[in-house]
A and B are shown apart, each in its own frame.
Chain A
Amino acid sequence: MIIEAHDLRKTFHAKRGRGKKEEVEAVRGIDLQVERGEVFAVLGPNGAGKTTTVRMLATFTLPTSGSARVAGFDVAREAAKVRENIGYVSQAGGVDDTAPGIESLLLAARISGMSRRQAQARADELLAAFSLTEIANRPAKTLSGGQKRRFAIAVGLVNAPPLIFLDEPTTGLDPQNRANLWDEVRKLREQGTSVLLTTHYLDEADALCDRLVIVDHGRIVARGTPEELKKEVAGDVVTLRLEDTDGARQLLDAQPYVKEVRAEPGVVRAYLDDGEHGLMHMLRTLEENGLGIRSVSLERATLDDVFLKHTGRSLRDAA
């Protein structure tokens, strides 16, 4: 087990005006177990407490209560040992804009205890691995977002840690760079590095991780592999657009092959295991009862449906 967290909590005390204090419970009791070699995702909307959780695990912030062991060491009492065994890439990246990227890389290598020569060798290795050799000596502020992000991850990996934290690694990247970064993360797993990443992108968690937790308002609302979680909802989703949503919901709820129905104004979503067959029945039933539909679509259930099931709202709206 590379990460074991029990009932982690973090409360911030923010000052609001004169004498007034506001308590913000960013994290309200998080339990995590991450296996060695696993890519583990923390999925949730903005403000769910993902970054705070990662910051506690990476020893940046002390938990208000609860405990966590990372790479076998306690984050509060043995922070120095934890730091030897992790890489941490924050959302902002942390590459010095005012210097060439190679400088950030070399400094990080030297801080982790390498000699000048070892640092140079490790830097060259990482530059090559992340296709950064050609732009190594360019001032970091002239680099694109994707290039900067690759530098940030290279810096995080400088001490070849068994575990790396990636906080929102693809936020703000274009689709091409996102796909490239996913490949990098997969390569890390092949090399045996454990990865804990946070994201608010469903497809990212779905595509990359072995297991995930879904967090909302500082709590875990679901955990498992992407397949387990989606199966929990249903295999497929049929989305119907029509006028009489209440009527349609009552009607579909009564059908044995439909597992669950959710209605919003103008839209009804029905969850069922075998969408291809169920859809035909569904359309016939609706027609027999005189419910006209404007459009229909059939999709595989996504993690958004899981989020919807547990929180009552869509991840897209929650952000």
Chain B
Amino acid sequence: MTRHTMLFLGYELRKLFANPVWPLFGIMQPVLYLVFFAPLLRSTVPGGKMTDVLAMFTPGSMMMIALFGSMFAGFGMINETRNGMLERLAVSQAWRPAIILGRLVKDVIVLVLQAILVIGIAALMGLRIGLPEMLLVLLLMAATGLFAASLSYGLALTLRDENGMSQLVQFFAMPLTLIAGLFLPVSLGPQWLQTLAKFNPLYYAVEAGRSLFRGDLSAETIPVAFALFAALTALTLVWSVRSLRNLAG
């Protein structure tokens, strides 16, 4: 089982290294936000210090790649439902969950590398963060990415349609990010928005990220976010592996 997962992971990584420019495009968006948008936020934090702005904004921009980047992870698989690749793998000796797990691990590795780059750029701009906090932030981001990516594979295998999938992802991603307070904390907003945000799992991830960047390890959003995303990931993962089975009709 592990062997097959590693085989698929190795296969995906080799493909990635053969063409490593695409993940760089993926981090352009958060980097642009950091450089051009974060400075505008100085008036929203007390004292207006860039360090505080970055501590508030960087977690949001990281969750952005965790969510947006990973929600599209399944796109490539839609083609594989048609070109016979998944059909062939399904009747090979491969342990079926490994087909998805191998890809998921690759997605998370790429995501963590991207996140380290984003934190590096934020650090150049003045962000300060301790090592344990940083590791926890990366772990939290990996969990978010794992959830979003397995959701994406499930969607890809269920819809099997690029157009439908891109519409659906946009449809869900936009409100989720707005209601999570990705760019500005929802605590700045009215009560109804804050109440609404409590029903959005991404809100806990962003808030937990902000607490970690502030060095506040005791914030209760941190365990909540980890528990939430562990549970959600388990659900979407099972769903995506089952969708693989349903391919046969």
Q: Do A and B come from one complex?
A: yes
The range of chain B's interface size is 20 to 34
Residue-wise interface mask of B (84-103) relative to A, using a CB-CB cutoff of 8 A (1 in contact, 0 not): 11111111111000000000
- Tell me whether B79 is interfacial, beta carbon within 8 Å: yes
B11 → A minimal CB distance (Å): 5
In the complex, what residues of A have CB within 8 A of residue B15's CB? 98-99, 103
- Tell me whether A113 is interfacial, beta carbon within 8 Å: yes
Residue-wise interface mask of A (81-99) relative to B, using a CB-CB cutoff of 8 A (1 in contact, 0 not): 0011010111111111111
B7 touches A92 (CB 8 A): no
- From A54-62, A186-194, A201-209, A224-232, give the one contacting chain B: A54-62
Asked if A61 meets B249 with Cβ closer than 8 Å, knowing A96-B85, A99-B15, the reply is yes
Asked if A12 meets B249 with Cβ closer than 8 Å, knowing A80-B93, A107-B7, the reply is yes
Closest to A110 in B: B7
B44 → A minimal CB distance (Å): 44
A59 touches B91 (CB 8 A): yes
A145 → B minimal CB distance (Å): 13
Chain A interfacial residues counted at CB < 8 A: 34
B93 touches A94 (CB 8 A): no
Closest to B76 in A: A98
A112 touches B11 (CB 8 A): no
In the complex, what residues of B have CB within 8 A of residue A80's CB? 93
Closest to A97 in B: B83
- Tell me whether B40 is interfacial, beta carbon within 8 Å: no
Residue-wise interface mask of B (71-86) relative to A, using a CB-CB cutoff of 8 A (1 in contact, 0 not): 0000010011011111
- Tell me whether B248 is interfacial, beta carbon within 8 Å: yes
Partner of A93, one of B14, B83, B89: B83
B248 touches A61 (CB 8 A): yes
In the complex, what residues of A have CB within 8 A of residue B79's CB? 97
C-alpha gap A112/B87 in the complex (Å): 16
C-alpha gap A155/B85 in the complex (Å): 11
In the complex, what residues of A have CB within 8 A of residue B88's CB? 88-90, 94, 108, 155-156
B8, B14, B85, B91: residue with the most chain A Cβ atoms closer than 10 Å? B91
- Tell me whether A111 is interfacial, beta carbon within 8 Å: yes
Asked if A111 meets B93 with Cβ closer than 8 Å, knowing A90-B87, A95-B85, the reply is yes
B84 touches A83 (CB 8 A): no
B93 touches A113 (CB 8 A): yes
B132 → A minimal CB distance (Å): 38
- Tell me whether B42 is interfacial, beta carbon within 8 Å: no
Closest to A159 in B: B93
In the complex, what residues of B have CB within 8 A of residue A111's CB? 4, 7, 89, 92-94
B90 touches A60 (CB 8 A): yes
C-alpha gap A80/B92 in the complex (Å): 9
A60, A62, A83: residue with the most chain B Cβ atoms closer than 10 Å? A60
Closest to B90 in A: A60
- Tell me whether B18 is interfacial, beta carbon within 8 Å: yes
Asked if A92 meets B249 with Cβ closer than 8 Å, knowing A86-B91, A103-B11, A111-B92, the reply is no
**Interface residue ranges of B101-156 to A (CB < 8 Å):** none
A94 touches B85 (CB 8 A): yes
Closest to B92 in A: A111
Asked if A83 meets B91 with Cβ closer than 8 Å, knowing A97-B79, A103-B15, the reply is yes
Closest to A107 in B: B11
In the complex, what residues of A have CB within 8 A of residue B87's CB? 60, 88, 90, 92, 94
In the complex, what residues of A have CB within 8 A of residue B249's CB? 12, 61
Asked if A108 meets B91 with Cβ closer than 8 Å, knowing A60-B248, A96-B85, A98-B76, the reply is no
Asked if A55 meets B248 with Cβ closer than 8 Å, knowing A92-B83, A110-B7, the reply is yes
A99 touches B18 (CB 8 A): yes
In the complex, what residues of B have CB within 8 A of residue A12's CB? 249
In the complex, what residues of B have CB within 8 A of residue A103's CB? 11, 14-15
In the complex, what residues of B have CB within 8 A of residue A91's CB? 84
In the complex, what residues of A have CB within 8 A of residue B86's CB? 94
Additional A-B contact list (12), CB under 8 Å, known A97-B83, A111-B4, A155-B88: A60-B248, A61-B248, A88-B87, A93-B84, A94-B84, A96-B83, A98-B76, A99-B11, A107-B7, A108-B88, A112-B92, A113-B93
A-B pairs, 5 with minimum CB distance: A92-B84, A94-B84, A94-B88, A90-B84, A61-B248
Q: List 24 A-B contacts (CB under 8 A).
A: A58-B91, A59-B91, A61-B248, A86-B91, A88-B87, A88-B88, A88-B91, A92-B82, A93-B84, A94-B84, A95-B83, A95-B85, A96-B83, A98-B15, A98-B76, A99-B11, A103-B11, A107-B11, A108-B92, A110-B7, A111-B4, A111-B94, A113-B93, A159-B93
